[in-house]
Amino acid sequence: MTPADLTRTVLHTVRRAVEADELPAVAPDRVSVRVPPRPGCGDYATNVALRVAQATGRPALEVAGVLRRRLAALPGIARVDIAGPGFLNITLEGHNSAQVVRTLLGHRPAGEPFALAPRPGLVARLGSDAARWSLLCPPGLDRDLLLVQRESNPLFRVRYAHARTRALLRNAADLGFEPLAGDLDDASAAPLLAALGDHSRIGAARAPERLARHLERTADAFLRWQADCPTLPRGDEKPSVVHRARLALAEATGTVLADGLHQLGITAPAHL
C-alpha cells in the first residue's frame, strides 16, 4: 500500500463510517496522511479524527476510536494506534518500497508545465530556472540565494539530488549492474518512500508552490537516505540485491524530481 493508496483508504473509511451512522458528519473532501516526526509512531499518521470532531462537536478520541476499529480491519494495515488528542498512527503490513518504485518506473508521470512567467529583469538577474523558482519561494527568502550552489539554496538541493540519481545510474552501469525494484529494510528510506508515493496526487493538484515544497522534501529525504545507505558497492564488495533495490529507488527518485521540475519549467540536469 503506497501513501497515496493509504490516503484514499482513510478517506473511504471515513465515508463508510458516516454512511453507517457511526459518525454524524459530512465526510471531508480530502484527508492528510504524513510520516510521523518521530520513530515508533507507526509508518504514517493522520489528523482526520480531529477534523471530523471539530465539524461535529463529538470528542476527538471517540471519533478516532470509530475510525481505528474500521482501519485496523482492512487488508494491508497491521496496526492502528490513537495518539495524543486523537491522531491515528498507522502501521502497514510488510514493506511497500518495491511497490512504490515499480509504480513510478512503470507509469511515469508527465505533467504539463505551469505558465510561470517571471519578469524579464528577474530572468536577466537570476537566469530562467532560478527566476521561475523564485516565484514559488516563501516570503522573505533572499532571491540571490538561488544563485549559489550550497545547501541553503532549495533549488540547488533539488537539482543536485536529481543529478546525483543520474550519476548513480551511470556509475552502476560502469560496475555492470542495473536497478531492480525490491523491498528494503532501510529505516531512513521511509520519508523518501512517503514523498515518492505522494507525487502523483500532488502533481494532479496543479499547485506550483505546493509542488515546489514537495520537490524540496523529496530531495532532502533522498540525500539523507543516501548518506545512510550507500547505493554502490564499496571496495571489493560485489553488487547485491540490496544495491539493485537501492539503485531502483534512486532511479524512481530521479524520475519524480525530473517530472516535477519539468512541470515548473525548470531544467533537470544530469550533471551538476
Write down which residue in 77, 92, 107 finishes a domain: 92
Are residues 59 and 166 both part of a single domain? no
Determine the Cα–Cα distance for residues 21 and 19; give it in Å rounded to an integer.
5
Task: Kindly state the greatest CA–CA separation across the chain.
Answer: 63
The x, y and z cell numbers of residue 158, run together, are 533539488
Are residues 111 and 132 both part of a single domain? yes
Give 108's DSSP letter.
-
| Domain CATH code at residue 204 | 1.10.730.10
The x, y and z cell numbers of residue 155, run together, are 533549488
Determine the Cα–Cα distance for residues 256 and 200; give it in Å rounded to an integer.
9
Tell me the pLDDT band of 120, cut-offs 50, 70 and 90: very high
Are residues 117 and 228 both part of a single domain? yes
Parent domain of 61: 3-92
Does 272 map to a domain? Answer: no
The lowest-confidence range among 20-34, 59-73, 226-240 is 20-34
Are residues 105 and 37 both part of a single domain? no
What pLDDT, on the 0 to 100 scale, is given for residue 107?
A: 65
Determine the Cα–Cα distance for residues 216 and 227; give it in Å rounded to an integer.
17
Query: b/e string for 52-64 if b means 16 or more Cβ within 10 A?
Result: bbeebebebeebb
Determine the Cα–Cα distance for residues 183 and 204; give it in Å rounded to an integer.
27
What pLDDT, on the 0 to 100 scale, is given for residue 244?
A: 95
Q: What percent of the chain has pLDDT over 90?
A: 53
> pLDDT at residue 94 above 80?
no
Instruction: Evaluate whether 89 touches 38 at the Cβ level (below 8 Å).
Output: no
Are residues 143 and 258 both part of a single domain? yes
Q: What H or E segment, with its residue span, contains residue 73?
A: none
What pLDDT, on the 0 to 100 scale, is given for residue 126?
A: 93
pTM of the model: 0.70
Determine the Cα–Cα distance for residues 271 and 148; give it in Å rounded to an integer.
16
Does 222 map to a domain? Answer: yes
Look at the chain and report how many structural domains it folds into. Answer: 2
Write down which residue in 44, 69, 92 finishes a domain: 92
Work out the average pLDDT over 112-140: 90
Mean pLDDT computed over every residue of the chain = 88
> pLDDT at residue 39 above 60?
no
- In the block, cell 555492470 appears at 176
Highest-confidence segment of 3-17, 22-36, 106-120, 165-179: 165-179
Based on the number of CB atoms within 10 Å of its own CB, is 148 exposed (0-12), middle (13-18) or buried (19 or more)?
A: exposed
Are residues 169 and 238 both part of a single domain? yes
> pLDDT at residue 38 above 70?
no
The lowest-confidence range among 38-47, 63-72, 250-259 is 38-47
Determine the Cα–Cα distance for residues 43 and 28; give it in Å rounded to an integer.
23
Are residues 119 and 16 both part of a single domain? no
Does 31 map to a domain? Answer: yes
Q: What digits encode the pLDDT tens for the residues 164-201?
A: 999 999 999 999 999 998 888 777 788 888 788 778 77
Does 271 map to a domain? Answer: no
Does 268 map to a domain? Answer: no
Are residues 143 and 217 both part of a single domain? yes
Write down which residue in 69, 92, 115 finishes a domain: 92
Distances in Å between the Cα of 215 and the Cα atoms of 174, 185, 250 are 29, 24, 14
Q: What digits encode the pLDDT tens for the residues 199-250?
A: 877 887 788 999 999 999 999 999 999 999 999 998 889 999 999 999 999 9
Q: What percent of the chain has pLDDT over 70?
A: 95
What pLDDT, on the 0 to 100 scale, is given for residue 216?
A: 95
Work out the average pLDDT over 35-60: 82
What pLDDT, on the 0 to 100 scale, is given for residue 43?
A: 77
Tell me the pLDDT band of 157, cut-offs 50, 70 and 90: very high
What pLDDT, on the 0 to 100 scale, is given for residue 197?
A: 79
Q: Where are the beta strands (DSSP E) in the chain?
A: 33-34, 44-46, 77-83, 87-92
- Residue scoring higher pLDDT (141 or 60): 60
